[in-house]
Amino acid sequence: MKTRRFALVGLLLTFAFALLVGLPVPAWAQEIVVLESAPKARAVIGEPSSEFFVRFDRPIDHQRSTLAIYRNDTRVERLVPRLDSAPDVLFARAPTLSPGTYTLRWAVSTPTGAKVLEGSIPFTVKAQQ
């Protein structure tokens, strides 16, 4: 157990040193972070929404990235990302959704194509009154 702990600490120190001196960090060590989305995670949407986006902490490859809306693990709609959106934003238009619980699933590729990362954003559409 101690050996694993020392190996992990050594790996982390190596990455920290690489960042300090400006050496590139390997692609497998990079993670992408969601900074903002519409809808927000666990949001309850009361009005029809036709625009969905996810903003990341770095540029993405729009042509190799996807957005889809799921309900109960079944794909409801595959969205077509706009290729002319900001370099760090995956944006698409969607049809009006009926009331229910959904998940916006995204998969993005880095511009170098080194890695595809995936995530999901749960949200709910409530009935109009």
User: What's the domain range around 8?
Assistant: 1-29
Residue 16, C-beta contacts closer than 8 angstroms, at least 6 positions apart: none
**Count of domains forming the chain:** 2
pLDDT at 116: 82
Query: pLDDT per residue over 16-50, tens digit each?
Result: 454 454 445 444 445 788 999 999 999 998 866 67
Q: Is the pTM value of this prediction over 0.85?
A: no
36 and 98 both lie in a single domain: yes
Residue 101 shares a structural domain with residue 44: yes
Same domain assignment for residues 24 and 62: no
Instruction: Give CA–CA dist 77/97, Å, rounded.
Output: 10
The H or E element containing residue 5 is: helix 2-21
Which residues have C-beta within 8 Å of that of residue 10, sequence separation ≥ 6?
A: none
State the Cα–Cα distance between residues 41 and 34, nearest whole angstrom.
11
Confidence band (pLDDT; 50, 70, 90) for 12?
very low
Buried b (16+ CB within 10 A) or exposed e, 45-63: beeebeebbbbbeeebebe
Q: 106 and 84, same structural domain?
A: yes
Q: Clarify whether residues 62 and 83 are in a common domain.
A: yes
Which residue would you say has higher pLDDT here, 114 or 126? 126
Same domain, 38 and 52: yes
pLDDT tier at 8 (50, 70, 90 boundaries)? very low
pLDDT tens column, 49-98: 678 999 999 999 999 899 999 999 999 999 989 989 999 999 998 888 88
| 3-state percent breakdown (helix, strand, coil) of the chain, nearest 5 | 20, 45, 40
The backbone torsions φ and ψ at residue 65, rounded to the nearest 5 degrees and listed phi first, read -115, 155
| Residue 100 and residue 42 share a domain | yes
Q: Are residues 18 and 53 part of one domain?
A: no
